[in-house]
Amino acid sequence: MTTLMNTYGARTLTLTKGEGSRVWDDKGNSYLDAISGIAVCGLGYSHPALTKALTEQVGTLIHCSNYYNIPTQQKLADLLIEQSGMDKVFFSNSGAEANEAAIKIARKYANDKGLKNPAIIVTSNSFHGRTLATLSATGNTKVQIGFEPLVEGFIRVPFNDVAAIKAAAAEHSNIVAILVEPVQGEGGVRVPAANYLNELRAIADANGWLLMLDEIQTGNGRTGTFFAYQHNGILPDVVTTAKGLGNGVPIGACLARGKAADVLQPGNHGTTFGGNPLATRAGVAVIETLLAEGLIEQAKVLGDKLLADFKTRLAGNPKVVDIRGKGLMIGIELNAPAAELMDKARAKGILINVTSVNTIRLLPTFILTDAEANELVTKVVELVTEF
Q: If DSSP codes are grouped into helix, strand and coil, which group holds residue 322?
A: strand
Longest CA–CA separation in the chain, Å: 61
CB 240 within 8 A of CB 276: no
Name 18's bridge partners: 23
Q: What is the pLDDT of residue 10?
A: 86
Residues with Cβ within 8 Å of residue 301, at least 6 apart in sequence: none
Which residues are annotated binding-site positions for N(2)-acetyl-L-ornithine? 130, 271
DSSP helix/strand/coil, 99: helix
Give the N- to C-terminal CA distance of the chain in Å, as an integer. 34
Compute CA distances 10 → 329, 337, 340, whole Å.
26, 19, 14
Task: List strand residue ranges (DSSP E) for the chain, in order.
Answer: 15-19, 22-25, 30-33, 88-92, 119-123, 154-157, 175-180, 210-214, 238-241, 252-256, 320-326, 329-334, 350-351, 353-355, 359-362
Predicted local confidence at residue 91, as pLDDT: 98
b/e per residue, 86-102, with b = 16+ CB within 10 A?
bebbbbbbbbbbbbbbb
- What is the rounded CA–CA span in Å between residue 283 and residue 168? 38
Distance, CA of 253 to chain centre = 11
Residues marked as binding for pyridoxal 5'-phosphate? 95-96, 127, 214-217, 272
User: Are the CB atoms for 189 and 354 separated by under 8 Å?
Assistant: no
Kindly list the averaged pLDDT for each block of 10 residues, start to end, along the chain of length 387.
Answer: 88 96 98 98 98 98 97 98 98 98 98 96 97 97 96 98 97 98 97 98 98 98 98 98 98 98 97 98 98 98 98 97 98 97 98 97 98 98 97
Give the 3-state secondary structure of residue 52: helix
Residue type, 125: N
CA angle 88, 90, 96 (to 5 degrees): 130
What backbone phi and psi angles, to 5 degrees, belong to 30?
-105, 150
d(CA 293, CA 263): 36
Burial 267-278 (b: 16+ CB within 10 A, else e): eebebebbbbbb
Residue 325, beta-bridge partner list: 330
Strands 350-351 and 320-326: unpaired
Beginning with the edge strand found earlier in the chain, give each strand of the sheet holding 15-19 in spatial order. 15-19, 22-25, 30-33, 350-351
pLDDT at 2: 86
Helix (H, G, I), strand (E, B) or coil at 380: helix
| Binding site, annotated residues | 95-96, 127, 130, 214-217, 271-272
Is residue 187 within 8 A of residue 356, CB to CB? The reply is: yes
Quote the distance between the C-alpha of residue 19 and its chain's center: 22
Query: Model's pTM, two decimal places?
Result: 0.97
